[in-house]
């Protein structure tokens, strides 16, 4: 994953094109699509990973073709993936295997993609099947997963006297203060200007180890109260900045520039997904630094004496309903997920439960963290997004957290208590209207 933002952002025009021009099939009542026939012939695979089409993916194609003589695999890279492939969906010509665009609602999956099997069968073999499941059928398989936590420079934290992840927010703040006092590094880097990294602070509900958290959250009228998840996460961000443990001028941060900074030890810590670890290691190699300095730690909070970290899948791969070679398309999808080595190459969590974690995430797990898939809301499905819209608090975004940083650094009026009281008031008013 070159940049997590590569996968985020859906154009309104693309969503409209899909809504007004659906040309998929009428739906398949069988539990799995018709993948009968000989694995031969040519298929086209649509991918958002344009950076790998002429390198890694060419090697994958050659390996698959050797495994299944008489086949031909062509990868087609799509730069503006969600928008452009949505247009192709509307036209009916969208390859044989493809990443499911974020524009497609889950109840539309059966119009465009072949069911791969039942949820019961496939979730016993694969992680991250939930987001691809509709009415008990699975329409896509994740190509790899990520964990949520802090990317750190282990060398700098060790210079500060800390070699194990802090267990509480207080220990974490003390650690950042030790970094500030004993090293020349910026203890924490917000990436405020690029803004999107601030949304990573919303990805840590798993620390409470409550599988029902996503159903309970929209039922809570005041999530910025002590002991609750928003107070815990946003409160820690506030305290880091308010204690002057982040960069001096957040208006000048730079995402691309932050990679060599943490890689060489100019920055000690950033909250990101595990997808960022390979990028930081590559930046270290490019700068002549030691890539093994880069580590990954869990959020500083334990439930029942154990760290918990959320994991989720990235893009989902599916077989086109309009493919004229579904046998080969399904064989390729299964091979890619199980045998290509893609997840390991990307240092991602393998979709196949039987496969081991990559070295970096194994080290993360060895810190004592339990990796946890947090189920989506069911009883209150969609309610959280309604409250977000009604309250105008972009909980999954970055605008209100930029204001949080501004208040914490003294660039805006208020303090943590007053801002959290304001957020609770707005959220509660919206929540009462949505949940009535």
**Cα(47)–Cα(157) distance, integer angstroms:** 38
> What CATH number does the domain located at 4-144+314-350 have?
3.40.190.10
**Cα(52)–Cα(252) distance, integer angstroms:** 31
Q: Measured in whole angstroms, how far is the alpha carbon of residue 300 from the centre of its chain? A: 19
Q: What angle, rounded to 10 degrees, do the helices at 169-182 and 229-242 form?
A: 20
Computed over its alpha carbons, how large is the radius of gyration of the chain? Answer: 23
pTM here is: 0.84
From 302, 207, 192, select the one nearest 237 (Cα to Cα): 192
Q: Write out the two tokens for 61.
A: 């194609």
With tokens 């390991």, the residue in question is 344
Residue 67, C-beta contacts closer than 8 angstroms, at least 6 positions apart: 335
Q: What is the pLDDT along the chain (436 residues), one digit of tens a residue?
A: 344 433 333 333 344 345 444 444 444 457 889 999 999 999 999 999 998 999 999 999 999 999 999 999 999 999 889 889 999 999 999 999 999 998 898 889 999 999 999 999 999 999 999 889 999 999 999 999 999 999 999 999 999 999 999 999 999 999 999 999 999 999 999 999 999 999 999 999 999 999 999 999 999 999 999 999 999 999 999 999 999 999 999 999 999 999 999 999 999 999 999 999 999 999 999 999 999 999 999 999 999 999 999 999 988 999 999 999 999 999 999 999 999 999 988 889 999 999 999 888 999 999 999 999 998 888 998 899 999 999 999 999 899 999 999 999 999 999 999 999 999 999 999 999 999 8
Residue 222: how many other CB atoms lie within 10 Å: 16
Q: Write out the two tokens for 372.
A: 């946890």
From 199, 229, 183, 206, select the one nearest 7 (Cα to Cα): 199
Residues of the chain with CATH 3.40.190.10: 4-144+314-350, 146-313+357-436
* 9, burial (CB in 10 Å: exposed 0-12, middle 13-18, buried 19+): exposed
Superfamily of domain 146-313+357-436: Periplasmic binding protein-like II (3.40.190.10)
């Amino acid at each position: 994953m070159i940049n997590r933002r590569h996968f985020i952002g859906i154009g309104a025009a693309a969503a409209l094109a899909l809504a007004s021009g659906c040309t998929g099939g009428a739906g398949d009542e069988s539990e799995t699509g018709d993948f009968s026939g000989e694995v031969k012939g040519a298929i086209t695979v649509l991918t958002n990973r344009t950076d790998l089409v002429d390198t890694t993916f060419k090697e994958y194609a050659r390996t698959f073709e050797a495994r299944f003589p008489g086949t031909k695999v062509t990868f087609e890279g799509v730069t503006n993936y969600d928008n452009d492939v949505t247009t192709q969906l509307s036209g009916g010509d969208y390859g044989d295997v493809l990443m499911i665009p974020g524009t497609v609602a889950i109840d539309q999956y059966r119009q465009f993609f072949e069911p791969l099997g039942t949820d019961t069968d496939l979730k016993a073999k694969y992680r991250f099947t939930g987001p691809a499941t509709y009415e008990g059928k699975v329409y896509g398989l994740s190509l790899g997963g990520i964990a949520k936590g802090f990317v750190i420079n282990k060398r700098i934290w060790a210079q500060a006297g800390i070699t194990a992840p802090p267990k509480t927010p207080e220990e974490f703040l003390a650690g950042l203060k030790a970094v500030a006092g004993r090293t020349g590094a910026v203890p924490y880097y917000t990436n405020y200007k690029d803004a999107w990294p601030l949304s990573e602070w919303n990805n840590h509900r798993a620390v409470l180890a409550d599988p029902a958290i996503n159903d309970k959250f929209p039922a809570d009228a005041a999530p910025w109260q002590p002991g609750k998840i928003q107070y815990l996460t946003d409160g820690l961000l506030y305290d880091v900045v308010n204690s002057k443990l982040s960069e001096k001028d957040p208006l000048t941060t730079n995402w691309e520039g932050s990679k060599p900074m943490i890689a060489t030890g100019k920055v000690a810590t950033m909250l990101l997904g595990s997808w960022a670890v390979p990028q930081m290691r590559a930046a270290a190699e490019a700068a002549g630094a030691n890539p093994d300095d880069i580590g990954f730690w869990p959020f500083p909070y334990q439930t029942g004496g154990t760290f918990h970290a959320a994991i989720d899948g990235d893009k989902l791969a599916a077989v086109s309903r309009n493919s004229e070679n579904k046998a080969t398309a399904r064989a390729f999808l299964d091979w890619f997920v199980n045998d290509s080595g893609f997840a390991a190459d990307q240092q991602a969590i393998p979709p196949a439960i039987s496969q081991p974690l990559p070295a970096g995430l194994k080290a993360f797990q060895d810190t004592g963290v339990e990796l946890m898939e947090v189920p989506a809301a069911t009883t209150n499905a969609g309610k959280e997004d309604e409250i977000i819209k009604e309250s105008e608090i972009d909980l999954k975004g970055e605008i209100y957290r930029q204001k949080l940083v501004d208040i914490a650094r003294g660039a805006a009026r208020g303090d943590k208590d007053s801002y959290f009281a304001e957020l609770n008031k707005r959220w509660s008013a919206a929540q009462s209207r949505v949940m009535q």
